[in-house]
Amino acid sequence: MQTTPTDSARADSAPAWVRHARVSATLAILALLAVVGVRHADELERLLSARPLCLAGMALCVLGVRVLHSEIIRRTLAELGFRLPPMEVFGLSVLSAVPNLLLPRTGFGALSMGLRARHGVPLSVSGSLALPLAALDMVVIAAAGLAVQTLVFGLASSRALLIAGTFAGVLVASSASVVLRVRLRIPFGPPRLRAFVERLDAAWAQLRGSRSFVLRAFCLLCVMCALRVLRLALAFAALDYAPDLAGLAVSSLFGDMMYLFALTPGALGLREAAIVYCAQLAQVTPAASLAVAILDRLVMTAVILVTAQLCAWRLFGARARTRGGPT
């Protein structure tokens, strides 16, 4: 029996206090960013003179990450028995990133609805993409960040201990979720909800049981991680900053990890705060890191919105013109 969107929404909906906390956290972080931006207005003026070539490179990095993300989703769906065209999955993947700019953790929900509406992929199957892919992504980010932090900078300072400890904690939790199987069974509740949870458990077990899938996904996630580091390096170069490369890598990885704790849309403010927190490791000022983080956010958001518009036209506009016939 298929799970309806209403059932899925009920299963995934957050309590009212969580929604209020997210809104409050978003407003507080935006206010804090505004205050910090006013204090460092001189550095933010550099955004107006950012190097166009570096901006173009950043845009290509954003597109590269989205292409690889869609490829992982396509291969995951193929592993579960659903083979879809690459362009179709890429378009839906980019479109699903837009809701994340407004509400936290809504991207996979939008992707699931799109896959179900266009290709009949059950919500339990598409929903099973979120946990294993997020866990694998965090394994890559945390392992790389912990290695660079401990091997290059050590654990002498309290800040280094906090950064390394965060990487280590996320690495342990993510690795456990990939290796260990927790069977999801509920003895009560609506039959559709029980069926949804059982299919979710079966799909996740199938994914983790395929070594070839895990290896391919792991390699693609490593490349995505490298592209995000390169994007931040180009942001520094666009504003004429020369950071330490190892510190730059830690800043990017620590910022990426904030998506795991995101209470705000797209980890807005949290990622920027993490990059600023690592400014000392990158051997730049906090004001410089803030300007770079804001530039990175602006480029990423602009590329996603423009690409999503083009994908929407490609996926839905052509079909609408075909149905309407010649005019």
Give tens-digit pLDDT for 40-71. Answer: 556 677 888 899 999 999 999 999 999 999 99
> What's this model's pTM, rounded to 2 decimal places?
0.80
Nearest by Cα to 114 from 90, 150, 143: 90
Cα–Cα distance measured from residue 5 to residue 19, given in angstroms and rounded to the nearest whole number: 20
Average pLDDT on 23-48 reads 66
Q: Does 234 score more than 90 pLDDT?
A: yes
Mean pLDDT score of the chain? 79
> In 10 A of CB 264, how many CB atoms?
21
Cα–Cα distance measured from residue 203 to residue 205, given in angstroms and rounded to the nearest whole number: 5
pLDDT in the model for residue 321: 47
Q: Does 92 score more than 80 pLDDT?
A: yes
pLDDT in the model for residue 30: 64
Q: Does 97 score more than 60 pLDDT?
A: yes
**Tokens, residue 130:** 């979120």
Residue 315 amino acid letter: L
Report the interhelical angle of 158-179 vs 130-148 (nearest 10°).
150
For residue 321, the 8-state DSSP code is H
Q: Does 268 score more than 70 pLDDT?
A: yes
Q: Does 178 score more than 90 pLDDT?
A: no
- When pLDDT is cut at 50, 70 and 90, the band that residue 11 belongs to is very low
